[in-house]
Amino acid sequence: MKFYDCATAPSPRRVRIFMAEKNIEIETIQVDLAS
How do the domains of the chain map onto residue ranges?
1-35
User: Tell me, what's the pLDDT at 34?
Assistant: 84
CB within 8 Å of 20: residues ≥ 6 apart = none
Q: In this structure, what DSSP letter does residue 17 have?
A: H
pLDDT digits (tens, 9 = 90+) for 1-35: 999 999 889 999 999 999 999 999 999 999 998 88
Q: What is the pLDDT of residue 33?
A: 87
Confidence at residue 16, expressed as pLDDT on a 0 to 100 scale: 94
Closest by alpha carbon to 18, among 32, 33, 5?
5
For the entire predicted model, the pTM comes to 0.72
Determine the pLDDT at residue 28. 96
Backbone phi, psi, residue 17, to 5°: -65, -45
Please, what is the end-to-end C-alpha distance for the chain in angstroms? 25
